[in-house]
Amino acid sequence: MHVKSLFASLIGLLAANVAIAQAPAPAPAPDPANILNLDLSTGGRVSIELRPDKAPASVERIKTLVNRGFYDGTIFHRVIDGFMAQGGDPQGTGLGGSDLPDLKAEFNDLPHVRGTLSMARAQEQDSANSQFFIMLSPNLGLDGNYTAVGRVISGMAYVDLIEKGEPPANPSKIVHASMGAPGPVAAAPAAGATAAEAAKPAEAKQQ
């Protein structure tokens, strides 16, 4: 009887160890050097994890322009409800860019889901420069046609509050862009919530 009991205990312990061994390892913390922070006029900070392993030249371009202060004060000039919010143009028309050469396309396997940051371009594939867009909803039809460079990890609520329009009547803007550790995570606003109400620190819900 005691032998059977001991055997059963050993089997249970072995099964528990196997389950622990098969549990997935926790995801590593994002590298602060690859975190893009956008302080928006909608009331708070949006933090985006950039992926130099997927689009090295495009990520490097964003970092270069951020360090120049290029994005500070630029507006979101084209924002389609349920689709995406586009910005990064110093002219605010969709026709502008930086003084740096256009980038070669770096199409990759990052999907265009809610919160994806991707490089905007003209018809020519190798025409991305400084403009980008943030997905408000998934659209996998963009995969393989635009260079995805990262995804929002906090503050998506503030992206949702960006003024809609093509162009918006009162466009939202990037107050300041920086690289570094992510800021406070934004709360998803209740229906009809103001930007100030959305600014209360809490975890933003991503879909």
CA–CA separation, 93 and 77 (whole Å): 6
Structural domains present in the chain? 31-198 (2.40.100.10)
Residue given tokens 């909608």 in the structure block: 42
Place 207 in a pLDDT band, splitting at 50, 70 and 90. very low
CA–CA separation, 75 and 132 (whole Å): 11
CA separation, residue 33 to residues 28, 45, 105, 158, 183 (Å)? 14, 17, 23, 22, 13
pLDDT tens digits, 60-88? 999 999 999 999 999 999 999 999 999 99
pTM of the model: 0.78
CB atoms within 10 A of CB 91: 11
56 prior amide bond cis, ω within 30: no
CA–CA separation, 36 and 33 (whole Å): 8
CA–CA separation, 188 and 152 (whole Å): 13
Contact, 155 vs 186, CB < 8 A? yes
